[in-house]
């Protein structure tokens, strides 16, 4: 089966993590390609967060974010992606003092020009505390129905457990936005349980759910999909090795899941590559990959175009 032509959607994808070194050099005076590539290298989750922060600081103007999106949509189209939900790190914007309401319009306008339909998810930094998370949630609500379909939290799960933000998630859900927190990436199954208690429609990563049979059953009962990012989990050390990744066990347990790149430029991967890993390393058949691709449309927050 030609994985490139397989109709599919991507649901866990960070805009800033898709910024290629060449793009960053083009917008950053004095930045050379080798230096950019060196700054984007990392060996564990903590170093990854520093690399992500460095990339974000290279994006200084609204048109910089729009340029990253333009290139990203071109790459998605080349891979047979028919629809995408893209995380915008609104929390990092606010932390940097960048007004979301002045920066997001350029992103939304670029999305309208692209050939791949897009919705956005505003992402808060969970370890920055309630005031920060509430501010990002308020920004997401202001843009609800104008390109933004969801609200999530990412960052350090141990320092910002989801249970702290149940009321925030209640508020965004009441405004018509979906709850799509990260969970179970760097901490145990309790983080996934807390994401469920926040009313999660999907959960970013969620791989540690494999350690709790009752949690696997609850994910199936609630029909909550896990956003699986194989290469990401290997590169950040969330799993000890590629072959130890639980994607096969989660799929065989009947848990709904979708495949994603997370931060494709930083992790040096593509969505086609993630499907190839599922096939070549974990033995997914063509029929199983087609099911995963169907899931990517089924668990979308907005109605994707017909395929």
* Catalytic residue positions, numbered: 185
Separation between Cα atoms, residue 108 and residue 119, nearest integer Å: 9
Q: 144: helix, coil or strand?
A: strand
Backbone dihedral angles phi then psi of residue 10, each to the nearest 5 degrees: -120, 130
Are 79 and 71 contacting, i.e. CB atoms less than 8 angstroms apart?
A: no
Look at residues 44, 79, 82, 118 and name the one whose alpha carbon lies nearest to residue 270: 79
Helices (H) and strands (E) in the chain, counts: 15, 9
Instruction: Return the axis-axis angle of helices 100-113 and 130-142, rounded to nearest 10°.
Output: 40
Strands 118-125, 178-179: pairing kind? unpaired
Are 149 and 142 contacting, i.e. CB atoms less than 8 angstroms apart?
A: no
Are 272 and 260 contacting, i.e. CB atoms less than 8 angstroms apart?
A: no
User: Beta partners for 13?
Assistant: 86, 262
Look at residues 203, 285, 219 and name the one whose alpha carbon lies nearest to residue 253: 219
* Six token digits for residue 242: 């590629």
Separation between Cα atoms, residue 238 and residue 178, nearest integer Å: 26
Look at residues 229, 144, 145, 220 and name the one whose alpha carbon lies nearest to residue 183: 229
Q: 158: helix, coil or strand?
A: coil
Burial class (CB within 10 angstroms; exposed 0-12, middle 13-18, buried 19+) of 152? buried
């Amino acid at each position: 089966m030609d994985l490139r032509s397989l109709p599919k959607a991507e649901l866990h994808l960070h805009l800033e993590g898709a910024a290629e070194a060449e793009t960053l050099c083009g917008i950053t005076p004095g930045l050379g390609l080798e230096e950019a590539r060196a700054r984007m290298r990392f060996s564990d989750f903590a170093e990854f967060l520093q690399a992500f922060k460095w990339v974000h600081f290279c994006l200084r103007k609204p048109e910089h974010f729009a340029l990253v999106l333009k290139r990203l949509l071109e790459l998605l189209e080349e891979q047979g992606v028919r629809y995408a939900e893209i995380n915008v790190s609104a929390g990092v914007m606010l932390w940097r003092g960048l007004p979301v309401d002045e920066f997001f319009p350029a992103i939304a306008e670029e999305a309208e020009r692209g050939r791949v339909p897009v919705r956005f998810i505003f992402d808060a930094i969970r370890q920055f505390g309630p005031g920060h998370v509430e501010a990002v949630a308020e920004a997401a609500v202001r843009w609800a129905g104008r390109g933004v379909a969801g609200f999530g939290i990412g960052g350090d799960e141990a320092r910002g457990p989801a249970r702290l933000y149940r009321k925030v998630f209640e508020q965004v859900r009441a405004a018509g936005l979906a709850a799509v927190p990260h969970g179970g990436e760097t901490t145990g199954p309790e983080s996934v349980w807390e994401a469920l208690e926040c009313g999660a429609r999907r959960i970013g990563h969620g791989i540690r759910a494999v350690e709790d049979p009752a949690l696997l059953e609850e994910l199936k009962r609630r029909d909550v999909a896990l956003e699986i990012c194989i290469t990401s989990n290997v590169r950040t050390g969330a799993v000890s090795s590629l072959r130890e990744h639980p994607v096969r066990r989660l799929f065989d347990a009947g848990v709904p899941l979708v495949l994603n790149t997370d931060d494709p430029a930083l992790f040096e991967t593509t969505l086609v590559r993630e499907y190839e890993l599922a096939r070549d390393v974990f033995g997914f058949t063509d029929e199983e990959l087609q099911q995963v691709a169907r899931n990517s449309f089924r668990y979308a927050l907005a109605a994707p175009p017909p395929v």
